[in-house]
Structure 1
């Protein structure tokens, strides 16, 4: 073997060792947070950078648990859930507690509560929808209205409403998937510009849009009859392995301090509103 080849072989061996060493260190982080760009849950840039309420949740846990090491990894949401389902060591800060599509994860106690999805549309379309389908809106009837165009972000699913979309709208001429970064925000611009008529999302998404994109957007939020009386339970979800169970135990030890944290509560007030459902 020539000297140059020996150097290449040595460099390759050292690189492999370094790779496995860094992976090993990451495996032993006390808390590894997987966060994705999804305003106002997590905000990666702009006027409110790192001021999402899930950013505030992570920061609060870091303050409450200074004895632990905390690593934050920015990843697409699909990548985060895929890694967790493969039992890689990771915690997703803001998940719907016990959701059927993520039922295998370990969850902390409830960290916050908020209202379920509703319809976001223009004021003129809102009046039309209310006139035909009531308030709160009978969604099972609305989805059969062939005169209204609907769109949803490609990675978003809507729980008990999703089967209605799949039965009546998906694959129809009145349905579109919107992909790309911040698809849920771009979709609201499409509603304002009359390219589509309505979507389903949380009221907080409209709040963020009005704060950052178009203050006088004229968008309206309508509650859905099928969700009447429903409250969403937010929690931290961690991988279903011993590391994840240990992480959840650590987080639960300071859950009361988190819920009393004024910075976290201020962020919830800002994006979810002061009339949001409160945690006991």
Structure 2
């Protein structure tokens, strides 16, 4: 049925103003999106889309849950759908028309409270990852299938032979790895602050875990809606951008993210967050490339 609905939506006129259906490609990845009976729940992008729905009632909003690979395959093919939660980088900006919707803290070092005092921190309170990887007394655990970005991936690849960091193929790596840390089977991992906040809300015992910024990886990450690089995608991105361009819209976007960010991260990145949401009060696609 979902495939039929999507096929019907793709046959509609290319003009965003005339379309009757807005198809959202949704990640099944809490708390980016918290799926509830195949509908958006209480996640970050769920709240953002709810704001858009309230201000764009002229179209029917439909939701298709798809993994990252499938979503970008559909965008690259020019299908009339927008991916609702993309972490923005230069390569993705070339592949899609992207509407910026929020700012997230970068990947963090998540550690057990018992080992926090032993972490190699610089004067700014950031973890020196190469030094940490060379400390055999501290045991790390990360997913072998996950990329953490060029810089962190390089540090992991070049860890010394005596490093006690292990890579695992376990499924549901976020929750599974954090649970292993509670059992003292690992001392640290790498993950997003907002993912840790989600699992802490579900499992109070995880409150024992702490997150620390990683030196050299301090730039917050932009997230947004991604629409295909077609005339339809450009028109739809401009429409979405305009719906969000107000003080009310900026506040709604900020609220959707803030509830999933730790107090430490909100304080550390407060200046960058405030600057972003001030810019979000106005259209941000005025200079989008044709």
Larger RCO (alpha carbons 8 Å, 6+ apart): 1
TM-score range relative to shorter protein: 0.7 to 0.9
**Corresponding position of 2:283:** none
CA contact (8 A) 2:104 2:257 kept: no
TM-score, normalised with respect to structure 2:
0.75
Q: How does 1:1-280 map to 2 (within 5 A)?
A: 24-27=7-10, 28=12, 30-44=21-35, 50-100=41-91, 103-108=94-99, 110-130=100-120, 135-153=125-143, 156-159=146-149, 160-168=151-159, 174-180=165-171, 182-215=172-205, 217-228=207-218, 230-257=219-246, 260=249, 264-272=253-261, 275=266, 276=270, 277-278=273-274, 279-280=277-278
In structure 2, do the counterparts of structure 1 residues 207 and 23 end up closer, same or farther at CA, with 3 Å as the change threshold?
closer
In structure 2, do the counterparts of structure 1 residues 21 and 215 end up closer, same or farther at CA, with 3 Å as the change threshold?
closer
SS at match of 1:272: coil
SS at match of 1:41: coil
In structure 2, do the counterparts of structure 1 residues 134 and 62 end up closer, same or farther at CA, with 3 Å as the change threshold?
closer
Distance in structure 2 (CA, Å) of the matches to 1:72 and 1:20: 11
Q: Could you say what the CA RMSD is over the residues aligned between the two structures, in angstroms?
A: 3.3
Q: Which structure is larger by alpha-carbon Rg, 1 or 2?
A: 1
Distance in structure 2 (CA, Å) of the matches to 1:184 and 1:70: 30
Question: Shift of the alpha carbon at 1:232?
Answer: 1.7
Runs of 4+ in structure 1 off by over 6 angstroms are 18-21, 131-134
CA contact (8 A) 1:115 1:232 kept: yes
Q: Which runs of 5+ in 2 are unaligned?
A: 13-19, 279-290
For residues 26-55 of structure 1, give each alpha carbon's deviation from its aligned partner in whole angstroms, at most 9, with x where no partner exists: 313643211122221111259xx8111211
CA contact (8 A) 2:200 2:206 kept: yes
Question: Shift of the alpha carbon at 1:122?
Answer: 0.2
Distance in structure 1 (CA, Å) of the matches to 2:128 and 2:57: 48
TM-score, normalised with respect to structure 1:
0.77
CA contact (8 A) 1:258 1:264 kept: no
Q: How many equivalent pairs are there?
A: 257
In structure 2, do the counterparts of structure 1 residues 215 and 107 end up closer, same or farther at CA, with 3 Å as the change threshold?
same
CA contact (8 A) 1:111 1:258 kept: no
